[in-house]
Amino acid sequence: MPPAPTDGGNETTEPPSRQRSLRLPAWLMGLVKSHLNLRDQEIVPTNGNSNSEQQQAIMRQNIMELHDRHVSDVMRPRADIVAVELNTPLAELLKIIVANPYSRLPVYREELDDILGIIHIKDILDSMVNEAKFDLGRLIRATKFVVPSMPVLDLLLQMRQTRMQMAMVIDEYGGIDGLVTIEDLLEQIVGDIEDERDLAAPQMMELSQGVWISDARLSLRDFEKTVGSVLQEEEQEESDTLGGLIVYLADRVPRRGETITHDAGFAFDILEADNRRVKRVRIRKVEPQPTGE
């Protein structure tokens, strides 16, 4: 059973959810800069720099909107959590890491509601190199447990003060409702932040025979290297990436949970998407659709 969640009520610092200043709080400025690796002049307007001023204005507006938002508004829901069981074999653990863009993963015992903490990919790699026997349990780090009603800015301040990168969200019965990372919170202020692993070349990972998981940025050339030459010339002309192909087939950006099919015998299950683009896809080999006369 997770420990009692924190709701932000015991902070000695005035909760940022009640700050109404139009200026960005100094602690928040420092946090944004450190996570984005920005120099002061890139985020603080100087000498009439219109780009910096515009960025500041956008961030101020985003922060004002966050004053009334809670963890439940920004958390990653339970259904989307990628976590590992304590006794997961190393080979399976590595497959999960490769197939997902996250640098930290929750660890649970037997069921997701029994969260033990989180693991960092860096710790796993270090252990593989430096230790004779891999022991996942020794690599688990503590995590934070919070309630869905906690104000977003209060959690952001607490995560900064405790240097926690991830928090598990629990419901009134102590079950896991979702999770939120400090990156998720900062994205609400500055827009999408590219994790260092997001910059790696997109890959297509085989899960089982005829089933793959792929970043939607995968080039169609690399897609066909794996599955063979299955695309029509028009499809190749209209898009360069797997995500672009899916949008072309659907004639819109599909939502998470939808499945888009291709006549050559492929089903694309949308695992992650927003209102602008498809991000992650499961690819399944299915029966080809008969072509019309």
Rounded to an integer, what distance in angstroms lies between the CA atom of residue 74 and that of residue 194?
A: 17
- Structural domain spans, the chain: 53-190, 204-285
Fold of 204-285: 3.30.465
User: What are the tens digits of pLDDT across the range 102-160?
Assistant: 888 999 999 999 999 999 988 998 888 888 889 999 999 999 999 999 998 889 888 88
Give 148-177 pLDDT, tens digit per residue: 999 988 898 888 888 888 999 999 889 999
What digits encode the pLDDT tens for the residues 25-48? Answer: 666 666 665 554 443 434 444 445
Max distance between CA atoms of the chain, in angstroms, equals 73
Q: What is the DSSP string of 18-47?
A: G---SSPPHHHHHHHHHHHT--HHHHS--T
Say if residues 189 and 172 touch (Cβ distance below 8 Å).
no
The one-letter amino acid at 183: E
Give the global pTM.
0.55
**Whole-angstrom distance, CA of residue 132 vs CA of residue 246:** 45
Is 3.40.1080.10 the CATH classification of the domain at 53-190? no
- State both tokens at 221: 């050339």
